[in-house]
């Protein structure tokens, strides 16, 4: 089965630092997820086995964490989730809609394109780049809410999983707290399921991250996949 991919010009945030960002970037290890060009607007995370005919779709919408920057496509956590879905015999096809360099605004701009195909379960992994840039948390929340609204308008029975992100208090403890709170609020207000911190057990761990201490290694992605699967499996088993 062929993957449907569309190339997209990404940019390197290192080249666009403000003086404020230069001061804060060295301490930010878990949110700078989107630094280098690596994108696929809609890539299949795995090909179903010939004996199974998936009738539903799970879409991972995110940034370079989801895209699997720096690891092989089959090592990124959405591909590992696809393996788990297949092993469990669940009738779902897993799609990787991760784009390195993406922000909540960027994802909102491309959601209509993604919604041309039916989506039954949407996993939203976004916000790291918003936090890196110090963008207003109100904009982050507003963009993600509009994105969810569009997806639910296409499928009122859509199930949504929100992957939370955290940032160090370099931009101020109030901003860091407000940033983290956005994900919990969105989950509560949209009857979505929350993964409090996607990088739990991975962020800041040298042996689980690439040399940039930003992007997880294949081993790090395995830990993320296990974390996501604990949340996602019960949802998929309910259909």
3 is catalytic: no
What is the predicted pLDDT for the residue at 32? 45
Distance CA 97, CA 5 (A): 9
* Alpha-carbon Rg for the chain in angstroms: 17
What is the predicted pLDDT for the residue at 51? 46
What is the predicted pLDDT for the residue at 121? 98
Which of 39, 64, 100, 104 is the catalytic position? 64
Domains by residue range for the chain, with CATH: 13-237 (3.40.50.1110)
pTM, full prediction: 0.81
224, 199 in Cβ contact below 8 A? yes
What is the predicted pLDDT for the residue at 82? 98
What is the predicted pLDDT for the residue at 24? 42
9 is catalytic: no
Distance CA 88, CA 187 (A): 26
What is the predicted pLDDT for the residue at 74? 98
What is the predicted pLDDT for the residue at 45? 59
- Residue numbers in the chain where pLDDT is lower than 50: 1-42, 46-51
121, 151 in Cβ contact below 8 A? no
39 is catalytic: no
What is the predicted pLDDT for the residue at 168? 82
DSSP string, the chain: ------------GGGG--HHHHHHGGG--SS----S--B-SSEES-PPPTT----EEEEEEESHHHHTTTS-GGGSHHHHHHHHHHHHT-SEEEEEEEBTT--HHHHHHHHHHHTTS--SEEEEE--HHHHHHT--HHHHHHHHHHHHHHHHHH-TT-EEEEE-----GGG-HHHHHHHHHHHHHHHHHTT-EEES-TTTTTTT-GGGB-TTSSSB-HHHHHHHHHHHHHHHHHHHHT-
149, 109 in Cβ contact below 8 A? no
Which of 18, 55, 112, 212 is the catalytic position? 212
What is the predicted pLDDT for the residue at 170? 86
What is the predicted pLDDT for the residue at 214? 85
């Amino acid at each position: 089965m062929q993957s449907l991919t569309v190339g997209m010009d990404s940019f390197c945030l290192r080249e666009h630092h403000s003086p404020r960002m230069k001061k804060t970037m060295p301490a930010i290890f878990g949110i700078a997820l989107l630094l280098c060009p690596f994108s696929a607007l809609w890539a299949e995370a795995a090909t179903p086995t010939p004996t199974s005919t998936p009738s539903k779709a799970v879409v991972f919408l995110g940034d370079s964490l989801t895209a699997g920057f720096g690891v092989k496509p089959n090592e990124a956590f959405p591909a590992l989730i696809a393996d788990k879905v297949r092993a469990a015999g669940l009738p779902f096809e897993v799609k990787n809609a991760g784009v390195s360099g993406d922000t909540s605004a960027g994802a909102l701009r491309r959601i209509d394109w993604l919604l041309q195909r039916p989506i039954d379960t949407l996993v939203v992994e976004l916000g790291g780049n918003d936090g890196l840039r110090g963008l207003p948390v109100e904009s982050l929340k507003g963009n993600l809410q509009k994105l969810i609204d569009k997806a639910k308008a296409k499928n009122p029975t859509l199930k949504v999983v929100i992957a939370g992100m955290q940032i160090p208090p370099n931009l101020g403890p109030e901003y860091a707290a407000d940033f983290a709170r956005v994900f919990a609020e969105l989950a509560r207000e949209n009857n979505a399921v929350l993964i409090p911190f996607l990088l739990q057990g991975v962020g800041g761990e040298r042996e689980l991250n690439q040399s940039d201490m930003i992007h997880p290694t294949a081993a790090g992605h395995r830990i993320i996949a296990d974390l996501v699967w604990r949340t996602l499996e019960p949802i998929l088993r309910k259909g």
